[in-house]
A and B are shown apart, each in its own frame.
Chain A
């Protein structure tokens, strides 16, 4: 037995590593195949154009238009970026260049903790605090694009802060020193030299955050009102693609169920596109 192990350990371990690597690849492949195999048959019964550009969602009458949900997903994600991107980038700048090591020691675990909070807890926070706050101060029912965006904006903060901070720290120190030597202030050097130098890293962090925001479900379903019609007013409700799938999956049957899998397929394609954008930007950064 021992002799066997000695002779073949190299190959056995190689096989083990290969098998481990395969789990990830196989999972992605299986999900792809499942989504395509189960999502595509829907389009033999329902035209793709009507599905993607239809503005009415009425499963009872077999009318499935997901344009409101596509627009809703982007609407809420854009709102989240409006809040999350500036706050996240400025936090990263603070942690990289302005705060003392003691402040950073507190901030880092805080950011990591923010990333670790389950989305259903964010949802509770939103529904118990933000929704009543918006209802009493701004009107409406409170379940709105606004609350969903603010909540998502908070949820994507860790992604943006962590990637932006890493990008800022990766900028060579001599850039900063050269800027100071030319007579620029500390602030000027940070904002005019270091931040632009880290731009592509920060951008890829934002793209990663977009992927996170588009895919978020549980927190959104609790605060968004989930109205399946074209979104508009930021104080009114909105339904995203993810919510559409989760919300109706439990009770859907027949064509309705297939339409939800097709919704998942559309979501998958969008997230894949965002990920390709991310790796494309990384590649360009590597070339630079």
Chain B
């Protein structure tokens, strides 16, 4: 009797598990699981502005993100969520998406997001990456690091990371100045990965310098730059008026594309910008409404 109970329990457990694990064919009648970033996220404000999820009514900005969306904080959580649910769609910086094979970037208006498509303006969802300072830079080390970021070598790294570089024909080679010390750079979690790469290259050229990169968020980056916590702040959005008035000075170091991401099991091949807007406002609820 007891044994039979245990056996039937185990069978039920196995049945449930197999139900979970056997991925059935993609069912377009299912609801779209919309994954959004949290309020205040630089990626979110760039995304809703660029896709038209945000509307202006009498000069007031309305964020019309679907109320039943799954709200997650952080780029990696967006990707984990989309990775684990084949009916999910989310968005993240192209630079982060390119480093992750578990999710797929969806072409928008027939254009696959890439450095080229962002540079020639055909990919519609892109935003600037800023380094923020308090007024003109006086600190020698911070100025030298900025010179490196905007140099030929620095911009090469920016480009390798999937961003569109801001270099022009006048961009110069960087020459190490033999400086010493520690430099604290903090702010946007979206900008931090590329700064990490730049830091490694910079430290190799300047062995006596230590660059400390802290990812805390765009607003924390601007605040930190203003109050001196960070020598350089990172922001993945345009600065607010209150921040500019307080003396924050942004320098664009590259342009980032925001990629729409889906699970590899999802067959959708292309979305129009209008469809993206409709999905993220909740006007389109199921995959079948998108047509073939």
Q: Which residues of A contact B (CB under 8 A)?
A: 57-61, 127-128, 131-133, 135-137, 140-143, 221-222, 225-229, 236-237, 239, 246-254, 256-257
Partner of A137 from B19, B88, B242 at Cβ < 8 Å: B19
Beyond A127-B84, A250-B220, A251-B217, 19 additional pairs, beta carbon < 8 A: A57-B39, A60-B39, A60-B54, A60-B63, A61-B60, A127-B80, A132-B85, A135-B85, A136-B19, A137-B20, A141-B70, A228-B71, A229-B67, A247-B73, A248-B39, A251-B40, A252-B40, A252-B219, A254-B240
A137 to B15, CA, bound (A): 11
Q: Contact between A250 and B216 (Cβ–Cβ < 8 Å)?
A: yes
A227 to B20, CA, bound (A): 25
Interchain nearest-CB distance for A129 vs B (Å): 9
Q: Contact between B85 and A253 (Cβ–Cβ < 8 Å)?
A: no
Q: B160-202 CB contact bits vs A (8 Å, 1 = yes)? A: 0000000000000000000000000000010000000000000
A-B pair count, CB < 8 Å, reads 105
The reply to whether the CB of B10 lies closer than 8 angstroms to some CB of chain A is no
Determine the chain A residues whose CB is within 8 A of the CB of B118 once the complex forms. none
Determine the chain B residues whose CB is within 8 A of the CB of A227 once the complex forms. 67-71
Partner of A251 from B16, B41, B61, B70 at Cβ < 8 Å: B41
Q: Which residue of B lies closest to A60 (CB)?
A: B63
Partner of A250 from B33, B45, B73 at Cβ < 8 Å: B73
5 example contacts (A-B, Cβ-Cβ < 8 A) are as follows: A60-B54, A227-B68, A247-B71, A248-B39, A253-B219
Q: Contact between B33 and A141 (Cβ–Cβ < 8 Å)?
A: yes
Q: Contact between B67 and A253 (Cβ–Cβ < 8 Å)?
A: no
Q: Which residue of B lies closest to A136 (CB)?
A: B20
Q: Contact between A226 and B61 (Cβ–Cβ < 8 Å)?
A: no
Determine the chain A residues whose CB is within 8 A of the CB of B80 once the complex forms. 127
Determine the chain A residues whose CB is within 8 A of the CB of B39 once the complex forms. 57-60, 228, 247-248, 251-252, 256
A229 to B41, CA, bound (A): 18
Q: Contact between B242 and A253 (Cβ–Cβ < 8 Å)?
A: yes
Known: A236-B68, A250-B220. A222 touches B77 (CB 8 A): yes
The reply to whether the CB of B72 lies closer than 8 angstroms to some CB of chain A is yes
Q: Which residue of A lies closest to B22 (CB)?
A: A136
Q: Which residue of B lies closest to A128 (CB)?
A: B84
Interchain nearest-CB distance for B110 vs A (Å): 29
Determine the chain B residues whose CB is within 8 A of the CB of A60 once the complex forms. 39, 45, 54, 61-63
